[in-house]
A = this chain, B = another copy of it.
Amino acid sequence: MNNVKYSIGQLAKESGCKVETVHYYEKIGLMPEPPRTEGGHRVFALSHVKRLNFIRRSRELGFKIEQIKDLLKFIDEPNHYCGEVRAMAMLQARAVQEKIDDLQRLQLALNEMVIKCKGSNNSIDDCPIVDALFTKKATGQQ
């Protein structure tokens, strides 16, 4: 009884992305090809809205498209278990922590540079930041 229909514009707004992004997701097979009107316009159902929300939310959480494909496979196909999804989430959490660590090292380096530099109008030749940038490695690479 819930057969509300959505145009692509409504769908996009509903999930906070652009129409072109929906096209893109369809092209790469993340979103299914929906039915069309006589004239060729796409017509979406609530299930599409949910699926797109899932995708967008997963992207926000830093999952890559390929990972999301895997997650959706879990959901689309029967015979999958919660444990598999949990494992992916844990992997993702670990990757995120590594990114955070990297950035914090980076932040430290930047702040040190800024503190050492009195700024104002001494010449560029005496700038400790420029100096630091000419020096090799100190942070983990990105």
Provide the bound-state CA to CA distance between A139 and B61, in Å.
8
- Are B85 and A121 in contact, with the CB atoms below 8 A? no
- Are B142 and A62 in contact, with the CB atoms below 8 A? yes
Provide the residues of chain B in CB contact with A50, threshold 8 Å: 134
Provide the bound-state CA to CA distance between A83 and B123, in Å.
9
Provide the bound-state CA to CA distance between A141 and B56, in Å.
10
- Are B103 and A99 in contact, with the CB atoms below 8 A? yes
Who on chain B is nearest to A62 by CB?
Answer: B106
- Are A82 and B120 in contact, with the CB atoms below 8 A? yes
* Chain A binding surface, main DSSP class: helix
Provide the residues of chain B in CB contact with A82, threshold 8 Å: 117-124, 126-127, 129-130
Provide the bound-state CA to CA distance between A125 and B71, in Å.
13
Q: Which of A1-9, A35-43, A89-97 is the interface stretch?
A: A89-97
- Are A100 and B104 in contact, with the CB atoms below 8 A? yes
Provide the bound-state CA to CA distance between A127 and B96, in Å.
22
0/1 interface trace, chain A 78-116, chain B, CB 8 Å (1 if under): 001111011101101100110110011011011101100
Task: Return the 10 tightest CB-CB contacts between A and B, nearest first.
Answer: A82-B127, A86-B119, A93-B110, A83-B119, A81-B121, A86-B117, A100-B103, A85-B129, A82-B122, A80-B124
